[in-house]
Each structure stands twice: as structure tokens, then as C-alpha cells.
Structure 1
Amino acid sequence: MALFAADYRRNDAWNPVSLNRIAPTVIMTGSEAELHDASGRRVWSVADANTDAGTPEMHRKMMAAGSLGPPRSLPVVVAGRPVGTLVVRVPQGSVSTVDKEFHSSVNRLLVAGALIAALVALLVGVYTARRATKPITELTSAAGALAAGHRDRRASTVPNNEIGQLAKAFNTMVEHLVKEDQLRRAFTADVAHELRTPLAILRSELEAVQDGIRQPTDGVIRSLHNETLRLTHLVADLEALASADAAAFTLERHPISLTSTVADTADSLAGRFDEAAIAVRTDLDMVWVDADPVRVAQIVANQLTNTLKFVPAGGAVTLTLHEIDGWAELTITDTGSGISADDLPHIFDRFYRSRTARADGSGIGLAVVAQLVKAHGGTITAHSTPGHGATFITRLPALRQNGTARTARADQRPTV
């Protein structure tokens, strides 16, 4: 329409000769067109045009276009007034068929692309999901194996994220369970061993009396009584150990003077040390702790009793108590035979008895001490040179004298 309007403006009227220049443009679309002036008189037609562009029918065949559509009247407007009407018949499908084929091709490509993208996304999602859930699946499997009693399974700790940390924590827990199971088995075996000897003696003595091999003399009765006492002491030690294991849940803690507790405990054992001709020396500063006084007294008493097995007559035991960097540090040093390098790592193990001990014991006393110290948030260490005595250092968090907690220096925190 713009071409026809421009031609009219140029000539200020409809000029068939000038309009023939527009004819090739119309003919190449395969369209038929004729122009009427404002009065409705036909002034130009494509069929009458003299041009080398061929005919509209030829171009329709070249484009494989369909038949002509119905005529459409399009007004030609110049300077706001109608100056004529263009009646045009456009081939059906000449443009729309191409558009449809193009659109159809585009749609097929879009559908195919969407399907491929969805398939790729699905495969990537499945791979990512399996990779993300693999550690969880392995952890679940390891937990199931643990529940079934298989403690040799471990979870993979490959991912360095929260799942990997969880797997590490799980493996640590399994290691602790394995260790606890080993300790339980060893504990059961040790208890059986400790009970076997006195029970065997009691049985043999009683059977000998029953068979008439031995008479129930005072000596036999005394032997039976001694073995009964030995069993009683063993049961008491086992009860103490069980109590120490549960001490963290049963401690009756409150601010106490550790100085008074240590001094009172040493005084209560003074008679036994006098009988053994062992001197007890003290150097105690005033130190307060938040602790169970009964359990703390047991910690001190067990250590002092243990020295009686190693310190010969004429020896000495020294107790010192000081506050060092927020810790109440109790040091018990003796002049005994010392602890061998082989025995030293095991002195806090249950039922462990050094070969240098002068008297029989259950081997539970120091194990109870270690448990009680740990329950109070402290540590205990031992140092010794064979032939030069031993030193036990117990550290507990100290309090100010007004009962408030001190802050222990991190670099001074002792390790077991």
C-alpha cells in the first residue's frame, strides 16, 4: 500500500505508466491486483501491465502456491483522504504454507530439544542424586550392620562435608564400642580369674573336711575365713568400680576445701602408715574445688593405700597441694621401689597388679581413682623411675574461695 500511496503523491494523480513500475513487485508474489480511483473507476490492473516480470500465474507455479484467495479491498490514503482502492487476490498458502512448515519445523526442533534436555537433566539428576545419597546409603548400611552385631563395618568418609563428618563420628563411635566390648570381655575374664582362686581354695578345703581328709581345726577355719574375706573385699572393690563408672551421674558436687579433705583423709590412714613405719609429710595450700567430698576422699585414700604396697619400712610419702593456672594440683610422691616402664602404662587398668607390689590386691583401686577423677572433669598422671619411687599428679578444676570457678589456661590443661 505504501508503494501505491507514494506513487500518487509523486504524480498527484493515478498514472498507469508510473504504476507499471510497481507491477513486478506484485507479480512476483503471484497476486492479482487492480486499482480503482476514488470514484470507483478502474485505473490500473496487473493483467494490463506491460512488464518483463512474467505473469502472476507463472510465479504461483514457481512457488507451488495454491489458488487465488477471495478479493480483498484495501483503501489507499494520502494526506488523510482516500484516493483509491486496491483490490488484491493473494494466492492461498503462498506465504502461510511456508510459515506453517517453518513453524512446524521449529516446533519439532523445540519438542526434540525439550525431550533431549529433559533426558539429560534426568540422567544428571539421577547421577547427582546417587552420588549425593551414596554416603548416606553406606552410612545406613553400616548402621544396620552395627545393629546386627557386625562391628567390623565402617562408613565411607570421602565427602568432606557434613555427611563426611557424620560418617567420621559414626566410625569413632564404632571404635569406642569395639573398645568397650573388648574391655567388657577383659573385665569379665578378670573377674572370673579373681573369683576362681578363693573359690577353688574354699572348695578344696571344704571337700577335704567333708571327706575326712582334714579336720575342722582352727587353722582350717581361719583359712576359710581369710578366703571369705578375700571374696568380700573383691566384691566391695567391684562395687566401688561400678560406682565409679556411674559417678558422673551420682556425684553430689558442691564447693569444698580440697585442703581439708586431703588432710582429713591422710589423718584417717595415719595408723596404717605408722604400723608400716612409713612417714607421711604434707605441704598443702588452701585450694577449693567443686566436687563430691566423699568421692574426693576416696581418690586420695586409694592412692595412699596403693603406696603401702610399694614403700618399704623407713620410707616416706609426701603430699603437696597447690593451685596452678586454675587447676588444683595434688601431688603424691613416695620413696618406694618405683614402677617399671612396662607397668607404668597399665597402672590405671582394671585388675592390673604390678609385680613389685608387696601385697596382694584386686588391682581395682587406681582404676577407681581414674574414673572418679575423670567424672570430676580432671586428669591423673603417673611418673616413675624404677628404684626411685613414683609420683602421682591429680588435677581438678579449682574454685576461688568465694565458690566461683576459675578459668584454667588452655595451654596448661593436662592430658591423660
Structure 2
Amino acid sequence: MRRSFAFRLAAAFAGVGIAAAALPAILVNVAFGTRFERYLEEQRGVRQRQLVAALADSYARMGGWRTSDLEPLAALILMDGGTLRLEDAEGRTVWAPATGAAASAMARMHRQMMGSGPLGPERRLPIEVDGSVVGTAVVRLPEPGVLPQDEAFRASVNRLLLAGGIAAGILAMGLGAVLARRATAPARELTRAARAMAAGHRSHRVEYEGADELGEMARAFNRMADAIEEEDRLRRAFAADVAHELRTPLAILRSEIEALQDGVEEPSREALASLHEETLRLGRLVADLETLASAEAAGFSLERRPVALRPLLEGAVEEFAGPFETAGVRLGSELEDAVAEVDPVRIRQVVTNLLSNALKFTPAGGAVRVELRRHGTEAVLRVSDTGPGIPPDELPHVFERFFRGRGARARGSGIGLTVARELVLAHGGEIAVESEPGRGTTFTVRLPLAAAGAGAAPEPRASAGLPRAG
């Protein structure tokens, strides 16, 4: 069964709380047991030293072993629940108290009262008087144990620790559930927004403005949604524009063909020329779409080689000389020699699109100028016109797909500059635009120069096979 991240986070909090309570309990029990056993062992050592000191004192006072003087020491052994056998220096037993049944029973009773364990192994303790060993005390003392009251205290401490651990676990789980729900709220909101986007609700946004990583993710998602919504808008506008552009030539073709079929109009040279012009207009619209698709994949189909840019640009200027003269627009150029490692067909397409764009937006009596300069490791191409310029609010969008400025409805499909940008970027170059309303526009293309000594390949002199995007 799938469990949510919030549940796992709450369970982790509970586990940490229980572990935090269990660890002190374990440490307390270990410390209690270890230190108490050490304490009992120290007490047993003290008893043994007291016993040896008492026996040595008796021997020194009496000048030897006297059982009458040793009898009072029997109580010291019985109170510990142990046994004692005294040997002289030759190893003969001289005294063995608490050997009867009554004494053994009393020793067991003392062991039970003290909570001691069974008797331990024999320990031989030498007895010294004036630096000489005068005897040996053979002692068996009970193993260390825990008194009932001590055991009860330990059990009560464990119960308190257990209760505290359970309470800490419950509190940690509750706190973890609250924190987990708050921490995962942005993720749930992001999921809802993504599902809404997938369902086609492009206006849905994530309403979270935190300063953490989730806030940055939400802002990135909103930026992506804005871009998708804007692209959808541009696509719809483009589809409407294309439909409008297609409707006119199709209507003309239909009406003229029907007139020819009905005999209303004779098949003349002028009629056929009109039909041919409308078919060319439809072909240009289809070519625009094909060009955009191919430009976006240009980075995978470039045929780069060292190309002399000056002859290439001269050929483009020569090709456009006629259309510019017909439109009453002056076309001039100032070109330096420069060799770049590029695909000449694609770069010719970039220049064609820039000149076509300048021609469309420069009125009669205006001028267009093409410049080529070397600047460091780059070849810099500029196409400037004296047209009406681009409004500041439209300037950031001129390279966007399907974008067409105000008043540009009948002047192309709005993808020519997008194609130019994609082709320039595919070559590792840059393209930028500068414009001031009423004073014209300048497009600047920067391309990396070829390595020194690279020979220039022949460049295309005509662009009859190139699609010209509007």
C-alpha cells in the first residue's frame, strides 16, 4: 500500500521520539547495574580486609591462635551469609565457625535478607603479622545481589521511563503530522497545479511564495506555466492568422477557377498569372512552417566549413537589389573580409530573412545598410534600416515564435526572425536587436571566426532553393 510522504515523515518523528526516550532508559539500566555491582564488590572487599585485620589482631594479642578469642568474629561471617575456615602457617585447620546445621541455616537466612546470590568460590586470604604469614583465611562469600527495595526502585524508574517514552512518541507523532502536513502542502499544491495543467487548465498557478526550495520550485513552475500559456496564445493567434492568410488566396483561386469553368472568363495570360501568384502565396505559407521546424533542428544538420562571409553577403545584397529598387528603398553595404566556420546555406538563410524583414518594414525613400566587421574572435554582421522602429513593449518578443507586432498582419507569418535566431544559436553565435521608434532598427549577428589558416569554401551565390521566412 502506498503511503504518503507526510505519513512517513510523521512516523519518522515518532521513531525519533521513542528512540530519544529509549536511549536514556537503556543507559540508566546499564549504568545502574554496572555501578551497583561495582559497589557490592567493593563492599565485599572491605569485609574481607576487615576480617583479615581482625584475625591478625587476635593473633598478635594472644601470641598465637586462640579459639576463645576468635569466636566473636564468627558473627561477622554469619551476617554476610558466608563461611570461614582458618588455617595456621603449616596449613592445618585451627578454627572453622558456622559449620553446624543451625549456622548454615542462619547464613542462608542472611543471604536471603541481603538479596545475595549463592556462595562464590573459595578465596584464600593470607594473614600477616610483623611481615610474616601466620595463617590463611579460607573464605566463601555470597555473589553480589540486589536488595528487593533496590530492585523495586529500579523497576519504578523503568516504568517512568517507559511512560515517558510512550508519551514522547505520541507527542512526536502528533507534532510530526502537523509539521509534515505543513511541509508537504506546497508539494500537494504543485501536484494539483500540474494535474490541472495536464487537463488543459493553463491559467492554474501555484499559490506559494516561500523563500525555501519549495518556494523556488513553485516560482519555476509558475514561470513554466506562463511560458506554456503564452505559447498557446501565440499558437492560437498564429493559427487564426494562417487561416486568414489561406482564406484569401483560396477564395481567389476558387472564384477564378469557377469563372473559367463556367465560361464567364476566358483562360487568358493575365488570369493564369493571377492563379500562379496565389499558388506561390500558398507555397510561401507552407514553406514558413517547414522552415521553422527545420531551423529548430538545425544544430543536428549543419554542414560546417570555413566560409568567406564577404562574398556570401555580396551575393545576398545582389539578389535583393531588384526588390529594394522596386520598393524605392536604398540598399547599401560595407563589408570586410572575414572567414567563419559555418554552414553557408544556413547563414545565407539568416541574411535573407534579415533583409526580407528590413524590406517589409522600411517605407519608400528609406534605406537599409548591411555591414560586416571583424571584432576580436568574432565576425559581426549588422543589418540596419530607417523604418518606423519597434515599440519598446514589443522589442523583447521579436524573436519569439509566431510573434507579429501591431500592424504586421499582412506582412508575413511572424517566424522569420525566430528562424534566424535558431540558426545563429545552432552555430554558437548570438543575435540581438536594437530599435528606437521613428529612427529604425538594427539587427546584430555575432559568429565565431574560423581558426587561422583555414581555407574558405565556395559560398552559394543565389538562394533560389532557400525558404524565405516571413
Q: Normalising by structure 1, what TM-score?
A: 0.68
The amino acid across from 1:388 in the alignment is R
Q: Give CA deviations for 1:121-168 in whole Å, capped at 9, x if unaligned.
A: 89869949968994996577766666665664659796856x887777
Residue equivalent to 1:411: none
Cα separation, partners in 2 of 1:102 and 1:216, compared to 1, 3 Å = farther
Residue equivalent to 1:355: 407
Do residues 3 (structure 1) and 28 (structure 2) align? no
Task: Give the 3-state SS of the residue equivalent to 1:355 in structure 2.
Answer: coil
Do residues 266 (structure 1) and 291 (structure 2) align? no
Identity %: 38
The amino acid across from 2:386 in the alignment is T
Partner of residue 449 from structure 2, selected from 386, 392, 398: 398
Residue equivalent to 1:368: 419
Q: How many residues align?
A: 389
Cα separation, partners in 2 of 1:177 and 1:13, compared to 1, 3 Å = farther
Do residues 284 (structure 1) and 335 (structure 2) align? yes
Cα separation, partners in 2 of 1:107 and 1:256, compared to 1, 3 Å = farther
The answer to whether the Cα contact below 8 Å between 2:115 and 2:145 also exists between their aligned partners in 1 is: no
Which structure exhibits the higher relative contact order, with contacts defined as CA atoms closer than 8 Å and separated by 6 or more residues? 2
Cα separation, partners in 2 of 1:179 and 1:374, compared to 1, 3 Å = farther
Mapping of residues 102-121 of structure 1, within 5 Å: 102=150, 106=154, 113=161
Deviation at 1:293, TM superposition (A): 0.7
Counterparts of 1:85 and 1:62, CA distance in 2? 21
Mapping of residues 245-256 of structure 1, within 5 Å: 245-256=296-307
Task: Give the 3-state SS of the residue equivalent to 1:317 in structure 2.
Answer: strand
Do residues 301 (structure 1) and 368 (structure 2) align? no
The amino acid across from 1:322 in the alignment is R
Cα separation, partners in 2 of 1:347 and 1:159, compared to 1, 3 Å = closer
Task: Give the 3-state SS of the residue equivalent to 1:14 in structure 2.
Answer: coil
Counterparts of 2:239 and 2:381, CA distance in 1? 33
Structure 2: 5+ residue stretches without partners? 1-50, 456-470
Q: Bigger CA drift: 7-16 or 101-110?
A: 101-110
Mapping of residues 166-177 of structure 1, within 5 Å: 176-177=227-228
Deviation at 1:110, TM superposition (A): 5.9
Q: Bigger CA drift: 231-240 or 179-188?
A: 179-188
Cα separation, partners in 2 of 1:265 and 1:14, compared to 1, 3 Å = same
Do residues 324 (structure 1) and 378 (structure 2) align? no
Structure 1: 5+ residue stretches without partners? 48-55, 405-416
Partner of residue 265 from structure 2, selected from 215, 219, 224: 215
Task: Give the 3-state SS of the residue equivalent to 1:269 in structure 2.
Answer: helix
Cα separation, partners in 2 of 1:402 and 1:22, compared to 1, 3 Å = farther
Residue equivalent to 1:188: 239
Counterparts of 1:6 and 1:356, CA distance in 2? 123
Deviation at 1:348, TM superposition (A): 3.7
Counterparts of 1:337 and 1:45, CA distance in 2? 126
Mapping of residues 112-191 of structure 1, within 5 Å: 113=161, 127=176, 134=184, 138=188, 152=204, 176-191=227-242
Q: Bigger CA drift: 214-223 or 115-124?
A: 115-124
The answer to whether the Cα contact below 8 Å between 1:34 and 1:46 also exists between their aligned partners in 2 is: no
Counterparts of 1:220 and 1:229, CA distance in 2? 14
Task: Give the 3-state SS of the residue equivalent to 1:384 in structure 2.
Answer: strand
The answer to whether the Cα contact below 8 Å between 1:373 and 1:379 also exists between their aligned partners in 2 is: yes
Counterparts of 1:355 and 1:71, CA distance in 2? 110
The answer to whether the Cα contact below 8 Å between 2:127 and 2:133 also exists between their aligned partners in 1 is: yes
Residue equivalent to 1:231: 282
Deviation at 1:44, TM superposition (A): 7.0
Counterparts of 2:121 and 2:404, CA distance in 1? 114
Q: Bigger CA drift: 3-12 or 254-263?
A: 3-12
The answer to whether the Cα contact below 8 Å between 2:260 and 2:267 also exists between their aligned partners in 1 is: no
Q: Give CA deviations for 1:53-93 in whole Å, capped at 9, x if unaligned.
A: xxx979968984699x99998766435867366788x8x99
Deviation at 1:36, TM superposition (A): 7.5
Q: Bigger CA drift: 385-394 or 219-228?
A: 219-228
Counterparts of 2:329 and 2:362, CA distance in 1? 7
Q: Normalising by structure 2, what TM-score?
A: 0.62
The answer to whether the Cα contact below 8 Å between 2:186 and 2:208 also exists between their aligned partners in 1 is: no
Partner of residue 434 from structure 2, selected from 383, 397, 406: 383
Partner of residue 127 from structure 2, selected from 75, 78, 82: 78
The answer to whether the Cα contact below 8 Å between 2:210 and 2:216 also exists between their aligned partners in 1 is: no
Counterparts of 2:58 and 2:382, CA distance in 1? 120
The answer to whether the Cα contact below 8 Å between 2:67 and 2:95 also exists between their aligned partners in 1 is: no
Cα separation, partners in 2 of 1:245 and 1:97, compared to 1, 3 Å = closer
Cα separation, partners in 2 of 1:384 and 1:63, compared to 1, 3 Å = closer
Task: Give the 3-state SS of the residue equivalent to 2:65 in structure 1.
Answer: coil
Cα separation, partners in 2 of 1:235 and 1:385, compared to 1, 3 Å = same
Task: Give RMSD over aligned pairs.
Answer: 5.2
Task: Give the 3-state SS of the residue equivalent to 2:291 in structure 1.
Answer: helix
Cα separation, partners in 2 of 1:254 and 1:78, compared to 1, 3 Å = same
Counterparts of 1:363 and 1:302, CA distance in 2? 11
Counterparts of 2:120 and 2:381, CA distance in 1? 116
Task: Give the 3-state SS of the residue equivalent to 1:252 in structure 2.
Answer: coil
Mapping of residues 23-42 of structure 1, within 5 Å: 25-26=76-77, 28-29=79-80, 40=93, 42=95
